[in-house]
Amino acid sequence: MNSFRLLLLGAPGSGKGTITKKLKNVVPNLQSIASGDLLRQEIQAKTNLGQIASEYIAQGKLIPDDLIISLVANHIGVLSQGTTSTTIMKPWLLDGFPRTLHQATALNGILTPRDQNLTKVIELDVPESAILGRIETRYVHVPSGRIYNSSYNPPKVSGFDDVTGEPLVKRSDDNEETIIKRLKDYYTMVKPLKQFYKDKGILITVHGETSDIIFPQVLQALEER
Ligand code: AMP
């Protein structure tokens, strides 16, 4: 399982960030890229891209494909540095990218020449009722992407990150109106994406209401050949 290259698919609030954190405890050299975290860091750094992104994000809309593809492509270059077939492959995972079929084909075009194609795509299938209940109470530490939840996973000191002590923020797009739009768009966009990866024979779907139920299934999916 140590050399996987994984895409986590799942609706907003399905627990992709939490699964990433749990996987990092089991696979310490795992590297991860969450496209939403990259965008929030651009916004916090007040870059041009951040300014554009914040308008889309606040409305629950997707960032145009060309912008997000080039942002993630830069980071993928860093992930796969020094990992040729003759050296030990570092495991990595993507969360939140690709979200459209166009992004998926672009990613394929970036990874294929590096001989670094995805080895697994795991879809987290969480009932919408479970998502809606928890998304409005989540908080994020922007620089790291660490997620907290004021009701079931609170930080040690309310409002501050456990590791750095820096302030947590509530995402501007974690309000009921935007969440409903994001969920609706997700279910539409994910269909062709799932078909794309199903055709490649690498899609596995796991089901459950909480990350505690989902995580063992993710581990099992990673063990399967
Ligand atoms: P996330 O943290 O994954 O929920 O992403 C937050 C927001 O960032 C999304 O609602 C989109 O507006 C934007 N975003 C993140 N990833 C992508 C992507 N792959 N394509 C387009 N927009 C994205």
Separation between Cα atoms, residue 69 and residue 66, nearest integer Å: 5
CATH for 195 = 3.40.50.300
Q: What is the pTM of this model?
A: 0.91
Query: Ligand 1 pocket: which of 35, 75, 76 to mutate (most atoms <8 Å of CB)?
Result: 35
Residue 93 forms part of a structural domain: yes
Residue 155 forms part of a structural domain: no
Residue 144 forms part of a structural domain: no
Q: Considering its fold, how many domains does the chain have in total?
A: 1
Could you tell me the distance, in angstroms and rounded to a whole number, from the CA of residue 105 to the centre of ligand 1?
Answer: 17
Residue 76 forms part of a structural domain: yes
Residue 170 forms part of a structural domain: no
Separation between Cα atoms, residue 30 and residue 20, nearest integer Å: 9
Please tell me if the CB atom of residue 103 comes closer than 6 angstroms to any atom of ligand 1. Answer: yes
Residue 169 forms part of a structural domain: no
Quote the domain boundaries for residue 111.
Answer: 5-134+176-223
Could you tell me the distance, in angstroms and rounded to a whole number, from the CA of residue 68 to the centre of ligand 1?
Answer: 9
Are the C-beta atoms of residues 134 and 59 closer than 8 Å to each other?
A: no
Give, for all 225 residues of the chain, the pLDDT tens digit: 668 999 999 999 999 999 999 999 999 899 999 999 999 999 999 999 999 999 999 999 999 999 999 999 998 876 755 544 434 578 999 999 999 999 999 999 999 998 899 999 999 999 999 998 888 899 999 999 989 998 888 999 999 999 999 999 999 899 888 999 999 999 999 999 999 999 999 999 999 999 999 999 999 999 987
Please tell me if the CB atom of residue 62 comes closer than 6 angstroms to any atom of ligand 1. Answer: yes
